[in-house]
Structure 1
Amino acid sequence: MTDPEFMDHAEKLLQAVELSCDRINDEGDADVDNQRTGGMITLVFPNRSQIVINLQKPLHEVWLAAKSGGYHYKFDGQRWMDTKGQGEFFESLSRDATAQAGQALTFSS
């Protein structure tokens, strides 16, 4: 994958996270604050816990840091998959956000 291809796919992922936050906040009372700075999004939950998503451009990876740990994702041509076999990005983000928010949250591409 070329650098421009990575950035195109990664930007779509970051935009999907932002749109999911907007939808979650509009449809319920989760109150997930999302702050974007360049290639990084920080999700802040009412209990002050955070999930940080950032781009690792040289590696063509997206990294996710949550209370459960840190995860690295590579684009497989269709989805962002964990480099150690821990699953798909949006499934993992939904699981971790649900745990940290204390209520069911669903993020999608």
Structure 2
Amino acid sequence: MNVTEFHTITDQLFNKIELFLDHFAEEQDIDIDYEINGNVITITFPNQSKIIVNTQEPLYQVWLATDKQGYHFDYVENEWVCTRTKQSFDKIFSQSVTDQATI
């Protein structure tokens, strides 16, 4: 992977995150605020808990910070995979959003 490919793939991920959050907020009838600032998405829930997703260009990784834990993801076979648990970004992210939205 090169830098251009990394940016293309992470841009797609950020778009996917935005769509997921919009759908989740509508489905759950809650107000989720999110802000994208460069390579960082900060998500704030009604209870003021936060999730932060950011890219780590030098490592070609995506990092996810939740109230409970932090995760690092490598891009493996067209999917972001946690370096520790081997679970997909989608699975960990959606579970984290659900958990923090219902605290």
The Cα offsets for residues 9-68 of structure 1, whole Å up to 9 and x where unpaired, read as: 111001100111122223331211111101110110000000000000000000000012
Residue ranges of structure 1 left out of the alignment (5+ in a row): 104-109
Taking the aligned partners of 2:68 and 2:39, their CA distance within structure 1 comes to 22
Aligned counterpart, 1:83: 83
Q: What displacement does 1:85 show?
A: 2.4
Taking the aligned partners of 2:27 and 2:8, their CA distance within structure 1 comes to 28
Aligned counterpart, 1:30: 30
Opposite residue 85 of structure 1, the aligned amino acid is T
Aligned counterpart, 2:96: 96
Aligned counterpart, 2:16: 16
- SS of the residue 2:77 aligns to: coil
Greater RCO structure (CA 8 Å; 6+ sep): 1
Opposite residue 44 of structure 2, the aligned amino acid is V
TM-score normalised by L of structure 1? 0.88
- SS of the residue 1:72 aligns to: strand
TM-score normalised by L of structure 2? 0.93
- SS of the residue 2:6 aligns to: helix
Aligned counterpart, 2:59: 59
- SS of the residue 1:31 aligns to: coil
Residue ranges of structure 2 left out of the alignment (5+ in a row): none
Report the number of matched residues.
103
Taking the aligned partners of 1:49 and 1:86, their CA distance within structure 2 comes to 25
Taking the aligned partners of 2:41 and 2:51, their CA distance within structure 1 comes to 8
Q: Alignment identity in percent?
A: 36
State the Cα RMSD in Å.
1.3
